[in-house]
Chains A and B, each alone.
Chain A
């Protein structure tokens, strides 16, 4: 062989060898941080998905590994709720869909309702319950809209939404169309809340993008080949791509770090938000425009939360908007809301920048009696923590509080405040995962699968504790929806995460119930006193060890997800509750005596009693 030819071959061969053998740096989104001295000793999250029987569920988003259209990347939410009122949290996992299913060419993937067997395992009861959804599912929220004592389920879709009314017999009926809440289009976050104080739960539904499946924006080059390999019936057909009415050539919005990727949300037309007033007869009326929350600007809504940020007894509304400013609406008490997004400081970050907001957590992390806001964001940007300063003002304290810098490489979705170590201070959990699979092909300091971020609240400042809180916290998943709740009723807050295109992950909190004392409160409201039966919107203040903590009964939140409606307090070393005060939704604050700690109590507004329920630790 001529020498010149050998040389020509040698260089590429060497380069290729280098390519395949070179050690790529492990991005911080995968690599577990060094053990943290700040982690709570003796508390660990353990992945019990398989043992619990939840591993059989597979979330499906598009049907292939590539994410060529934005609908394939948003994943789905999850709910932890007690649908059968047996005192044990059940799980509902929303599912996505495929293009072929959307076109009716194959069965749609099913959502899943798992009944808690009270022994650490769950049974799939989806078919019997009739909550398969069968549409391209996005989000979920829980609320007893008809005040019959049985929690109902609202599921948002890319397509028409569903309102599953709980019959009380383990089955559900989709009454979305009859109730007038089956919004078409692309809905994301939702939340029940009684904004007008009539004792009946109203419903807010966020809209994301006006996307027509028949006129999608261009897929990245090569997507045709990728789609071809994923199944026999790829859709949309190649000739249908492009030139969608919704799409405009906002070219930077179809690229990520110079690489062509799916388009959006920037450059695509936003979908409106909806507020539905509960008429009390099983129907709702869309009052979005009248109430001033219709999203005329067409922002891309994701996470939603009703909460009373100014403590005037009326539920206000926060909407995390992707790539656009958040909405914070102050309830004016006359059926309308005032947009205080900018004046409050909760619309943009501390430098006045818009961020790609996803999920939202509400909680009083510094025990000053006011609700603060945490919002997850895209990668290369920090998550944001808005401290409630009072007087209607919020300050972005992300960096000062310690959650800013660690979150930058992560693309955050579901998030919740929870006191995982029962020390009386709310910690913060974030589920992560990138939207572009191609990030794994580059040394971009990030990854498609990303580990969750657990921040422990150490005297008001958050410290990321990573794998020090159990090996499961060091595992990377492509996560989206996240819900927290005490699945085994042991006093420790557990976590359920819905992963895109994969099985979910159930993280059991081992040791949390021993790390500190605790109290969990279930409220039963009295509709005759204008409080919804499930007491959504009620606030509980628990004083123990001289610390006054705030918790509330809340629908929706996180990333399109629903957490435990019971209110959990970690009490630290305190062995008694000094004061338990309930500010019932639309009602007065009432103080109750709590006989002992480390237990569940039920407080019934109409009977004015506290009923202890003995917990059943493992």
Chain B
């Protein structure tokens, strides 16, 4: 812990008397440049000038977040990522809900992470693990093409990697390339026929191909391995519902909704199932929950600024929807 320096009382008293003398004859100091001057330099692409102007202003007005933001963005534009990072953090220390700082810091975070992964990859360029990790990073960054290339490179180096086969299957399934995904899941199933992820992935692919009978078998098997999986209960319920087995779908959807009460999809499909079975009151109660969930999600998105800790201490979010979008 750093102690705050304490001014000796005697000196403080001297200061009291001395300061008016200096105040009476101040040195002529040039006013700081306006924040817009730095912003204009930034927009011109003159990043060094933007930094210089912002620094001048910050010298006089250290709490000016606009100037510090421009400085941070200019540092980032010049590739001075560490300086940019520190500057964004300073802005957030002053204004924890500064949307610009949060926005640009998120982008910078991605750039910094990419750099670290590149360093890792440089150390072990032929490692399947390095390719896999880079694939994982691309998945997080929503770069499916790059992720697929990395996973394929990993698979070339380690053709029997169950993890990579599943990752590829999942990635490709999310792009609705169900036939290709089934190919990878099939290879994975040869290695591990009783793997939950493989069975779930196969089930989802079959479901989207309207091959509900094999999908139902896959989901049942997946649930045998992990009975507490809300996504698998949901997916099974969905497949049963789509194949006309509404009564059988209800307990699966009820279980999914019980396991994850805030899972919109489970609630919605459950409401539909109730409605199809003529259980009007149950349906209405369930759809009321759906409406509440949807409105909550919509306002969450808009209110995120008010509830979020800018430095990453956000409350845990709801689990992602279990059925991947086609």
Contact = CB atoms under 8 A, between A and B. Distances in A.
Indicate whether A and B interact: yes
Interface of A: 217-218, 221, 224-225, 227-228, 237-239, 241-244, 247-251, 253-258, 260, 266-270, 297-299, 324-325, 342-343, 345, 347-348, 350-354, 380-382, 393, 399-400, 404-405, 408, 442-445
A134 B295 CA distance: 36
Contacts of B44: 225, 228
B157 to A, nearest CB: 22
B210 interface: yes
Interface string B124-168: 000000000000001001111100000000000000000000000
Given A221-B76, A405-B326, 19 more contacts: A217-B99, A221-B73, A224-B43, A225-B44, A238-B43, A243-B99, A244-B99, A249-B97, A249-B99, A250-B304, A258-B143, A298-B302, A343-B275, A343-B287, A351-B321, A354-B264, A393-B275, A400-B210, A444-B144
Contact of A249 (B43, B69, B77, B304): B304
Contacts of A253: 301
B294 to A, nearest CB: 6
Given A249-B102, A257-B142, A353 B36 contact: no
Interface in B26-69: 35-36, 39-40, 42-45, 66, 69
A242 B110 CA distance: 21
Contacts of A258: 110, 138, 141-143
Contacts of A298: 298-299, 302
B308 interface: yes
Given A224-B43, A251-B103, A256 B142 contact: yes
A249 B103 contact: yes
Interface residues of B, number: 67
A381 B174 CA distance: 10
Nearest to A225: B45
Contacts of A353: 265, 321, 323, 325
A352 B264 contact: yes
B272 A345 contact: yes
**5 shortest A-B CB distances, which residue pairs?**
A352-B265, A258-B141, A224-B43, A352-B268, A248-B305
Interface in B5-36: 35-36
A463 to B, nearest CB: 16
Contacts of B208: 399
B266 A239 contact: no
Given A250-B301, A269-B302, A342-B268, A228 B43 contact: yes
Contacts of B269: 351-352
B144 A257 contact: yes
Contacts of B303: 248
B106 A251 contact: yes
A409 to B, nearest CB: 9
A249 B238 CA distance: 34
B145 A238 contact: no
B176 interface: yes
Contacts of B210: 399-400
Interface in B271-326: 271-272, 275-276, 283-284, 287, 290-291, 294-295, 298-299, 301-306, 308, 310, 321, 323, 325-326
Give the residue among B266, B298, B308, B310 with the most A Cβ atoms within 10 A: B298
B304 A342 contact: no
B229 interface: no
A221 B47 CA distance: 13
A442 B275 CA distance: 45
A351 B265 contact: yes
A445 B175 CA distance: 10
B100 A243 contact: yes
A251 B144 contact: no
A265 to B, nearest CB: 9
A352 B208 CA distance: 14
A238 B304 contact: no
B308 A249 contact: yes
B98 interface: yes
Contact of B290 (A342, A382, A444): A342
Given A224-B43, A380-B175, A342 B100 contact: no
Contacts of B268: 342, 347-348, 352
A349 B116 CA distance: 39
Contacts of B283: 343
A224 B73 CA distance: 12
B326 A251 contact: no
15 contacts: A221-B73, A242-B100, A248-B99, A255-B106, A255-B142, A257-B141, A267-B301, A297-B294, A324-B298, A343-B271, A343-B283, A347-B268, A351-B323, A352-B323, A400-B210
Contacts of A343: 271, 275, 283-284, 287
B298 to A, nearest CB: 6
Given A228-B43, A342-B291, A351-B238, A267 B298 contact: no
Given A352-B266, A353-B265, A381-B325, A243 B98 contact: yes
Contacts of B276: 393
A254 B35 CA distance: 25
Contacts of B323: 351-353
A162 B18 CA distance: 69
Contact of A444 (B145, B275, B295, B308): B145
A237 B37 CA distance: 12
B104 interface: yes
Contacts of B175: 380, 408, 445
A239 B39 contact: yes
Contacts of B138: 258
A325 B45 CA distance: 42
B42 A238 contact: yes
A256 B283 CA distance: 36
Given A255-B142, A353-B321, A408 B304 contact: no
Nearest to B148: A443
A247 B275 contact: no
Nearest to B286: A342
A331 to B, nearest CB: 19
Interface string B192-215: 000000000000000011100000
B302 A382 contact: no
B232 to A, nearest CB: 14
